Chains A and B, each alone.
Chain A
Amino acid sequence: MSAASDTFLLIRDIKPGLKNLNVIFIVLEIGRVTKTKDGHEVRSCKVADKTGSITISVWDEIGGLIQPGDIIRLTKGYASLWKGCLTLYTGRGGELHKIGEFCMVYSEVPNFSEPNSEHVGQNKL
C-alpha cells in the first residue's frame, strides 16, 4: 500500500506496511547508537506531531546530525514492525530534510511505537 505522494500523513495514521510516506515531525529524543552486523550505525529517535509520537530508525551520519527540537520532513519513508513495535524508516530514495526547529506543537502521547497486541502475529522484521 502507498499513500499519496504529495500529502503529509499524521503520525496516528501510520500503519505497518505503508510505503512512500511523507511525514512532518519534531524530534524529541535521539537514542543511543547501535552498530548493525554490516557496519552501519543506527539510532532510534522519538519523534512526534500533534497526534502522537513514534520511533524512527535513522541510519549512519544523518543520525549524528539531527538534534532534539529539529523539525523534519520525511519523504518516501515507510513503516514496519520491529520486534512488535511500529517503526518509521527513511528507506531507499527516502529523505530527511530539516525545515525548522523548536516551533511546532506536539503530543507525546499516544506513543504509537509501543508494543501493541494488535501487531502480534503480523509480519515482523
Chain B
Amino acid sequence: QCYRDLALVSRDGMNIVLSKINHILMEKYLKLQDTCRTQLVWLLRELVKSGVLGADGVCMTFMKQIAGGDVTAKNIWLAESVLEILTEQREWVLKSSLLIAMAVYTYLRLIVDHHGTAQLQALRQKEVDFCISLLRERFMDCFMIGRDLVRLLQNVARIPEFEQLWKDIIHNPQVLSAQFTGVLQLLQSRTSRKFLACRLTPDMETKLLFMTSRVRFGQQKRYQDWFQRQYLATPDSQSLRCDLIRYICGVVHPSNEVLSSDILPRWAIIGWLLTTCTSNVAASNAKLALFYDWLFFNPEKDSIMNI
C-alpha cells in the first residue's frame, strides 16, 4: 500500500528513494535489524517489479553486502534473497549488461563458500544454474569482467556444469559467442576496479583503505589482529583472502606521496594476508590472485600499479 502511494507521488523517478536506500545499505547495513533487512529486500523486489530506473544499482549495492567467506545464517539469507529476486526477474536482469556481469562475478565467487550442509548445497546448485545460464546466454556481457572471470571459473572448475563450460571455452569458444576467440582473449582483458571492489563489503573497504593510507609501517599489528578477528577467523573465511589481495593489487593505488612516506606498504599487507592463511587451497589461490595481472601484463593497456 505504502509502496503504491510512494510510486504515485514520486516525480523524480524515485531517485531520492533510490539514493537513500543505497546510502542506508552502504553505511548502515551492519547495524540494521533483521526485520529492517527483510523490508529492504521486499522494497528492492517492488522496485524491480515496477521497472524503476536505477533499481539495478540498488541490486548491486545489495550484492555488495553479501560477505565473502561468511556462512552465517544472516549472510546466507541475504545471498539467497537477492538470488531469488534475480532469478524471478530474469527478464529484467537481462536488460542490464553491467548487472549481468556483476551478478555473475558475485555468485561465481560465492559458490566457492557454499558447501558442506544440505542448505548450502541447495543454494550452490541454484547459484550454479543461475551463473551457467547467464554465461551461456550472454557470454559477451560476462566477458566484460575480464581476466578475473578466468580466475573465478578456475575455482569452480570441478563442478560438472562448469567442467562442461570449460571444455567449450577451451575447445569450442564460438559456441558461447561468435565474438569469443578463446581464453587468451579473456586473459588479456584487464578486470575493472568495480568488479574487484564489489566483493568487499563497505566495512572491509573502509578498514583496508584506512590501513593503506593512515597506518604507519610498524604500527599495523593491532589493526591486522582486529581485521583478522572480524573477517578471517574461521576456516570458511580463508577464501576472502583472494578478494582482499585482488583489491589491494587492483584498487588500492597509493599516490606518490603515500608511497614515499612511512605508511604501511601494500606488500606488507599482502605478506600478512598470505602468511596468516590457514588453508592450503586458499593460500595457493591467493598467491595466484597476486600474480594474475603480472602474468598477463600489457604495458599499453594495464597499469603498473597492479603489479
Contacts and interface: CB of A to CB of B under 8 A. Distances in A.
Contacts of A68: 222, 225-226
Contacts of B226: 68-69, 101-102
A69 B215 CA distance: 14
B296 interface: no
Nearest to B210: A103
A123 B214 CA distance: 40
A105 interface: yes
A81 interface: no
A79 interface: no
A55 to B, nearest CB: 16
A102 B214 contact: no
A69 B222 CA distance: 8
Contact of B222 (A28, A101, A103): A28
Interface size class of A (residues with CB under 8 A): under 10
| Chain A CB within 10 Å, residue with most, of B207, B219, B222, B227 | B222
Contacts of A102: 206-207, 210, 223, 226-227
Interface in A52-72: 68-69
Contacts of B215: 105
Nearest to B209: A103
Interface size class of B (residues with CB under 8 A): 10 to 19
A105 B220 CA distance: 10
Interface string A82-124: 0000000000000000000111010000000000000000000
Nearest to B230: A69
Interface in B213-254: 214-216, 219, 222-223, 225-227
A122 B222 CA distance: 34
Interface in A2-61: 28
A95 B223 CA distance: 26
A28 B226 CA distance: 10
B42 to A, nearest CB: 30
A102 B231 CA distance: 13
A28 B210 CA distance: 17
A51 B225 CA distance: 22
Nearest to B225: A68
Contacts of B216: 105
Nearest to B221: A108
| Chain A CB within 10 Å, residue with most, of B214, B219, B226 | B226
Contacts of A69: 222, 226
A48 B163 CA distance: 53
Nearest to B215: A105
A101 B210 CA distance: 11
A68 B227 CA distance: 11
Interface string B97-119: 00000000000000000000000
Contacts of B223: 102
Contacts of B206: 102-103
Nearest to B227: A102
A64 B231 CA distance: 21
A69 B203 CA distance: 14
Interface of B: 206-207, 210, 214-216, 219, 222-223, 225-227
21 contacts: A28-B222, A68-B222, A68-B225, A68-B226, A69-B222, A69-B226, A101-B226, A102-B206, A102-B207, A102-B210, A102-B223, A102-B226, A102-B227, A103-B206, A103-B207, A103-B210, A103-B214, A105-B214, A105-B215, A105-B216, A105-B219
Given A68-B225, A103-B207, A103-B210, 5 more contacts: A68-B226, A102-B223, A102-B227, A103-B214, A105-B216
